[in-house]
């Protein structure tokens, strides 16, 4: 008797390459074969082997996510921006003119395949893309063209003329003697700063900082240390692509976003550490640790490209048609971003005048306070015109960077920028003998009358 003839065909039916498959039924799909297979009477069909094509299926200890809620809550705090949008009819577009921000608390229900984390940003002191503070303004680069040889322009010593503050940090025990070592100064962390001493031409009647070897100015060290990004709580955006000056002027003045005449210096602004919430999610089912890490990394590295740096009417001659010329694009990711900062345009001395001095015409303040009008300090009146012009200058301070933000935040909780209020006022002549009673709740646990704690301590100096 002859042996039975067998002709064996192996056919791969892979769901990943199927032409028809159902999302709600992973066990059914249809594959299309390159060659036609005809089944005859007596042919046998059997499964030789099967495999599960799933992330983590080859792992000895795969990780499973079910999308299950964990019945636990977590509260996170991040920065929430509240924009005020206006439709500008002249420009036929909606713009965010004002924006406030604050620390927002959100309670999140935890889930096994989802996570919400909070991040903040920092800038390193690497001598790139920042302006050291305090500073009044920065000069235009073209101003240095008057200083002769181009090779010596970078050797020009910074000074009040070029925008430094009127008083340097060189407050020492004996202000007349500024030749002391850096360690003899006080009021700041000396390790953060580098002193520069005067060794220039002799002056007939020198001020203390013009004497040879005396401290002339201080700069923060460019030592690659980290400065945390902080955001101003109230911001104005006068310079935007396609927003005309007429369009910005058509928006009413919101006085809550402009500082009063007595607090025009940026040091009076309120800042908070800028924090962002990031939502991360992985697919449900089994997966490997590597696949989970790769998925989260892709989410964190997700990039966006935005057209920025539109140079409005600056490259076109005055007698030609005006256009908005885009100069560059910014590329940002979920964890690496650009922040609006100072430029030669918005931190210019012409805008600084309207911010710090309220304009060029000295008038009396508009609060009707006769004592202020007659004290000879030369207060200047804040108007809608000076406010709008100062908005460009203040836009330079939307973001700043602080080396020790925890000190700033703690101080902001205990005290606002204008100082700790007194419980009651006394004549100045009595301060030395009677002390200052602060409006702070210092209590003694034993000093309870009728269930009410009474103040038992006041600070004196």
Q: Is residue 61 part of a domain?
A: no
Q: Taking Cα atoms as reference points, which of 276, 268, 272, 229 lies closest to residue 400?
A: 229
pLDDT tens profile 177-231: 555 677 666 667 888 988 887 776 776 666 666 677 777 788 899 999 999 999 9
- Tell me, what's the pLDDT at 242? 81
Q: Is residue 198 part of a domain?
A: no
CA distance 211 to 199: 8
| Local confidence band at 461 (pLDDT 50, 70, 90 cut-offs) | very low
- Tell me, what's the pLDDT at 359? 52
| β-sheet bridge partners, residue 234 | 100
- Determine the straight-line distance between the first and last CA of the chain, rounded to whole angstroms: 121
Distances (CA, A) of 105 to 118, 407, 429: 11, 21, 46
Residue partners of 38: CB distance under 8 A and separation at least 6: none
Distances (CA, A) of 45 to 9, 36, 40, 49, 52: 10, 15, 11, 13, 21
pLDDT at 101 over 80: yes
Domain count, the chain: 1
Q: Is residue 433 part of a domain?
A: yes
- Tell me, what's the pLDDT at 397? 94
Distances (CA, A) of 296 to 126, 173, 284, 293, 301: 30, 55, 14, 5, 9
- Count H helices and E strands in the chain, helices first: 7, 19
- Tell me, what's the pLDDT at 35? 79
Q: Contact at 8 Å (CB) between 366 and 381?
A: yes
Q: Is residue 72 part of a domain?
A: no
* Torsion angle (degrees, nearest 10) of CA 291, 296, 300, 302: 60
CA distance 333 to 300: 7
Q: What radius of gyration do the chain's Cα atoms show?
A: 34
Q: Contact at 8 Å (CB) between 147 and 160?
A: no
Global pTM value: 0.73
pLDDT at 121 over 90: yes
pLDDT at 455 over 90: no
The two tokens of residue 227 are 């400065």
**Percentage with pLDDT > 90 across the chain:** 24
Q: Is residue 438 part of a domain?
A: yes
CA distance 186 to 313: 48
Domain range for 441: 421-455
Cβ neighbourhood burial of 35 (10 Å; 0-12, 13-18, 19+) = exposed
pLDDT tens profile 350-390: 888 888 765 544 444 434 333 333 334 455 667 788 888 88
- Tell me, what's the pLDDT at 433? 65
Q: Does 272 or 332 have the greater pLDDT score?
A: 272
Q: Is residue 426 part of a domain?
A: yes
Q: Is residue 81 part of a domain?
A: no
Q: Taking Cα atoms as reference points, which of 284, 242, 254 lies closest to residue 93?
A: 242
- Residue for token pair 């600070």: 459
Report, as an integer, the average pLDDT of 94-109.
Answer: 94
Q: What is the mean pLDDT of the chain?
A: 77
Q: Is residue 328 part of a domain?
A: no
Q: Contact at 8 Å (CB) between 289 and 56?
A: no
| Local confidence band at 323 (pLDDT 50, 70, 90 cut-offs) | low
pLDDT at 119 over 90: yes
- Tell me, what's the pLDDT at 451? 55
């Amino acid at each position: 008797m002859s042996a039975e003839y067998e002709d064996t065909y192996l056919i791969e039916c892979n769901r990943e390459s199927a032409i028809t498959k159902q999302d709600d039924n992973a066990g059914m799909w249809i594959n299309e074969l390159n060659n036609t297979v005809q089944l005859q009477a007596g042919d046998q069909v059997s499964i030789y082997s099967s495999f599960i094509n799933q992330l983590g299926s080859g792992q000895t200890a795969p990780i499973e996510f079910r999308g299950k809620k964990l019945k636990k809550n977590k509260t996170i705090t991040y920065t929430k921006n509240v924009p005020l949008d206006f439709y500008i009819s002249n420009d036929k577009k909606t713009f965010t003119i004002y924006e406030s921000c604050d620390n927002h608390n959100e309670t999140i229900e935890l889930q096994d395949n989802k996570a919400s984390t909070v991040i903040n940003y920092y800038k390193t002191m690497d001598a790139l893309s920042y302006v050291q503070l305090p500073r009044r303004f920065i000069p235009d680069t073209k101003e240095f063209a008057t200083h002769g040889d181009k090779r010596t322009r970078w050797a020009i010593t910074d000074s009040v003329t070029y925008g430094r503050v009127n008083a340097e940090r060189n407050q020492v025990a004996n202000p007349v003697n500024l030749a002391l070592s850096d360690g003899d100064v006080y009021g700041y962390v000396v390790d953060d700063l580098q002193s520069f001493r005067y060794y220039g031409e002799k002056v007939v009647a020198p001020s203390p900082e013009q004497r040879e070897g005396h401290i002339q100015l201080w700069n923060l060290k460019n030592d690659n240390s980290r400065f945390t990004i902080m955001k101003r709580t109230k911001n104005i955006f006068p310079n935007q692509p396609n927003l005309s000056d007429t369009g910005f002027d058509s928006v009413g003045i919101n006085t809550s976003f402009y500082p009063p005449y007595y607090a025009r210096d940026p040091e009076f602004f309120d800042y908070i550490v800028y924090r962002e919430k990031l939502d991360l999610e992985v697919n449900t089912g089994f997966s490997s640790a590597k696949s989970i890490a790769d998925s989260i990394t892709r989410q964190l590295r997700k990039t966006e490209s935005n057209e920025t740096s539109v140079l409005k009417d600056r490259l076109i001659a005055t007698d030609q048609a005006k256009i908005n010329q885009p100069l560059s694009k910014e590329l940002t990711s979920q964890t690496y971003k650009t922040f609006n900062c100072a430029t030669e345009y918005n931190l210019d001395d012409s805008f600084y005048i309207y911010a710090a001095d309220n304009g060029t015409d000295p008038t009396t303040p508009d609060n009707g306070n006769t004592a202020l009008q007659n004290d000879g300090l030369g207060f200047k009146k804040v108007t809608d015109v000076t406010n709008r012009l100062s908005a460009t200058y203040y836009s330079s301070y939307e973001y700043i960077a602080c080396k020790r933000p925890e000190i700033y935040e703690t101080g902001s909780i205990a005290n606002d920028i204008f100082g700790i209020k007194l419980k009651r006022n006394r004549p100045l002549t009595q301060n030395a003998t009677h002390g200052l009673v602060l409006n702070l709740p210092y209590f003694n646990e034993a000093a309870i009358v009728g269930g009410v704690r009474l103040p038992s301590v006041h600070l004196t100096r």
